[in-house]
Amino acid sequence: MDLPEIRKKISLLQKERSLLENKLMQNRAKMEAGSLFQIYIACRKGNCKCTHGEKHGPFLYLSQKVDGKLKQRYAGKKNDEPTVKKVRVYMQYQDKLAALRKIYGKIDTLFNQYREILIERGGNQ
């Protein structure tokens, strides 16, 4: 890759980074740390279908740290909706942060390549 191509890629990544940073800073929604997942459960009642391998579900569960311990609980009740919404906002925010970190890494790699090309050019003169 040559210097103009590296500069172009860095510029595009900087624009992408800026848009993502603005989205993160504009977020005003309430959030709650945790993650959501779905599981299938066997009730083990007599001749139920789940005793033959066909489990019930999926059921929505919430995983959160409470007093330093990981707790999981059923989150499919009507009164859980506000918490589930806040956790979804948190998860989306975390996804955007992860994408931002990837962009930072790509920019760093490109600047390192840029530096190496400049070093090579300086040593050949």
- Answer positive or negative: Cα dihedral of 27, 30, 32, 37: negative
The pLDDT value given to residue 124:
60
Phi, psi of 81 (to 5 degrees): -55, -45
Residue 125: pLDDT band with limits 50, 70, 90 = very low
Asked whether the beta carbons of 68 and 33 are under 8 A apart, the reply is no
Q: Is 65 helix (H, G, I), strand (E, B) or coil?
A: strand
**Measured between alpha carbons, how far is residue 122 from residues 5, 6, 33, 125 in Å?**
19, 18, 50, 6
Residue 82: pLDDT band with limits 50, 70, 90 = very high
Rg (CA), the chain: 24
Domain ranges for the chain? 3-123
pLDDT digits (tens, 9 = 90+) for 61-79: 999 999 999 999 999 899 9
